[in-house]
Structure 1
Amino acid sequence: MNSDTIKIGIIGIGGIGGFVGAPLAKKYKDSTTKIIFICRGDTKKAIQNEGLLFESKGTKETIFPDLVSDNPTEIGILDVLILTCKSYSISSILATYQDCINDETVIITLQNVVNAREIIRETLPKTGKIMEGCIYVASNVKKPGHIQHVGGPGKIFVGGNEDQSILNLLAAGGLDITHVANINEILWKKYLFVAPVAAITSAYKVTFGQLLEDSNLMEILENMMMEIQSLASKNNINLTNEDIKTSKELLTKFPFESKSSLQLDFENQNQTEKPFLVDYVIEKAAQYGIETPFYNRINSLLL
């Protein structure tokens, strides 16, 4: 820890950041653990003025963190930085807030990628202790400062530089978080679901429920998963046919009308994570000589 006061920063108060930040800010209000929401623009203004409106399981609650800021000087050195931003923002965000990170800062990643450590180390070659992670949840922004949890258990898995005191602190703050020995396997298992589902629903403009009802699209989805299975094997990760079956069945756990964040970004004409969820698969597979005809087909629909 950097001092007696523990400072936890959550960067990017969107669907995931709001889901993670809300229970922590509620639990640690008026304590020596300070929860900082790092955001800007309309989101920053809305939370500063009205608090974070968090909606989950039919209930709504307004929560005020200890600080809402985008000023590195005001934020200061963080003990924990939870990255809940989109994958394409990691490098620029770390560059902006590098003065808030020292050798003791624990950086927790919750992106839908399998190479977060590599992305971080491009900007911060040595600074910070990295715990790569992922979260199983569907949570969206209804409007700036208003987050709606729509599905998924919110289970968080992390690996890497284990810091049990930090993990205990986050768990006591209401997060369902578990440290695992082989985080890469879990990251790839989530990627097996997230990447192809996000790509195919975006390409064909269908919800999770509509995807489930279309046998032709489900066949394409399975073949995309098999292409990721081949890529994972080149990274010493064994994704089984049972893993593919489990990933397909996971679609049934979400509401019929659910959409991936990639699809929502395409619909709203925002910057997207296509480079990390589609291009990455095609480019890395090509390096290993793996053919990806199904991913290539989906990619052609997204260009």
Structure 2
Amino acid sequence: MKTTIKKLTVIGLGGVGGYFGFKLAQRYSNPEELQISFVARGETFEIVKKDGLRLLSPEHESPIAHPAAIYEEFTNVPGPDMFLICVKEYDLEKVCLALKDKIKADTVILPLMNGVDIYERIRKVITTGIVLPACVYVASHIKEKGTVEHKGNPGKIVVGNDPKNPDYNAQELVDLMKSAGIDIQYKEDAFPDIWTKFFFIASFGLVSARYNQSIGQINELPELRERATLIMEEIKAIATKKNINIPAEIIANTFQKAATFPYSTPTSLQLDIQAKKENTELELFAGAIMDYGKSLGLPVLESTRIYEEIKAGFIS
């Protein structure tokens, strides 16, 4: 299967979509080469439409990029050749339902989101097109509406083949991303990378949210480290049952990774739970583990327990 990407639409201008969307819009300022469009809502839509998208990053001297077009409603988006989906997991189903009728057999969807079940959740709604499993790393966040701030290492994407369309060659996509200065790695199978990241973000996210303790404290305090270990053991059992090729020493590797963060670093789930936000990544982490446990016949007692504690507000 071959496709030619001439129109690319970025959905969501948060930390992830804003960072990668900025790079694409700045590089492809000539829409005849590649037409970059954004989808944003409310005040963000108004600001970016008027003044452009701002990225504060050591990687760019010029902080403003303008897309060829920006839309507030999905119904107004002409069907592009490719969608970059960069939304929170609780908005994913709504986005997929809105896009469903715009997806042709050769439309490419690249979801840049956290979570191990993103591909499956997209495929429940969108059965056609090419969906590329991916893992994304970037330290960026919304500083204010229309402005994204990036610190630390350059953002990175690991992208793999669509299990439903294994013959699709993503090299064209990789080349256009690299031309925009995006660090992207193409692998036949991206699921090991997706699951490896999930070991860290799910276990440390859940324990940090339950106890309001930092990544360094979880690594150091025996009780918290034990709970994180139990969650990782449940994730490992699921990954093994699903034939995901993860390292045997994945749990030790995850704690080593955590030790590279500054001691007082919080997790995003911890911050959202503390702020009592209505929508959080709790379902993305514990919810996914519990769903897999149920469907695969695996006990996930620790993930269920900590999920119920967080839902009940037992934060010490």
TM-score under structure 2 normalisation?
Answer: 0.86
Partner of 2:243, secondary structure, is: coil
SS in 2 for 1:135: strand
Q: Which moved more, 1:102-111 or 1:283-292?
A: 283-292
Give the partner amino acid of 1:39.
A
- Is 1:282 equivalent to 2:290 in the alignment? yes
Query: Does the 8 Å CA contact 1:229/1:240 hold for their aligned counterparts?
Result: no
CA contact (8 A) 2:19 2:150 kept: yes
Per-residue CA deviation, residues 214-235 of structure 1 (Å, 9 max, x unaligned), is: 3432232122111111111110
Q: Do structure 1's residue 45 and structure 2's residue 46 form an aligned pair? A: yes
What RMSD over aligned residues (CA atoms) do the two structures have, in Å? Answer: 2.4
Unaligned runs of 5+ in 1: none
Aligned to 1:154: 155
In 2, distance between residues paired with 1:249 and 1:55? Answer: 30
- Partner AA of 2:14 in structure 1: G
Unaligned runs of 5+ in 2: 162-167, 312-316
The structure 2 residue matched to 1:266, chosen from 260, 265, 273, is 273
Which consecutive segments of 4 or more residues in structure 1 shift more than 6 A?
A: none
Give the structure 1 partner of residue 181 of structure 2.
174
Equivalence for 1:89:
91
Change (3 A) 1:270 1:44: farther
Structure 1 residues 247 and 166, CA gap change in structure 2 (3 angstroms): same
Matches within 5 A, 1:81-230: 81-126=83-128, 128-160=129-161, 161-230=168-237
- Range with bigger deviation, 6-15 or 57-66: 57-66
**Superposition deviation, residue 257 in structure 1:** 4.7
CA contact 2:75–2:98 (8 Å) conserved in 1: no
Identity %: 29
Structure 1 contact 91–122 (Cα < 8 Å) conserved: no
State the Cα deviation string for residues 14-61 of structure 1 (Å, max 9, x = none).
111111111111111124212111111122122122322212249772
Q: CA deviation at 1:202?
A: 1.6
* Cα gap change, 1:183 to 1:117, in 2 (>3 Å): same
CA contact (8 A) 1:131 1:162 kept: no
**CA spacing shift, 1:163–1:275, aligned 2, 3 Å:** same
**Cα offset for 1:73?**
5.3
Letter in 1 for 2:283: P
Q: Distance in 1 between matches of 2:148 and 2:278?
A: 18
Which secondary structure state, in structure 1, belongs to the residue aligned with residue 127 of structure 2? coil
Instruction: Find the counterpart in structure 1 of residue 19 from structure 2.
Output: 19
Deviations 1:100-134 (CA, angstroms, capped at 9, x unpaired): 432221101122222222211222222x2111101
Task: Assess, with a 3 A threshold, how the Cα gap between structure 1 residues 190 and 152 changes in structure 2: closer, same or farther.
Answer: farther
Partner of 2:314: none
**Equivalent residues of 1:72, 1:100 under 8 A apart:** no
Partners of 1:149 and 1:203 in 2: how far apart?
28
Greater strand percent: which structure? Answer: 1
CA deviation after TM superposition for structure 1 residue 256, in Å: 4.4
Size of the aligned set, in residue pairs, is 301
Specify whether residues 289 and 118 from structure 1 end up closer, same or farther in structure 2 by C-alpha distance, changes over 3 A only. Answer: closer
How many Å separate the matches in 2 of 1:144 and 1:264? Answer: 19
Alignment partner, residue 296 of structure 1: 304
Distance, in Å, in 1 between the alignment partners of 2:256 and 2:58 is 22
**TM-score normalized with structure 1 length:** 0.89
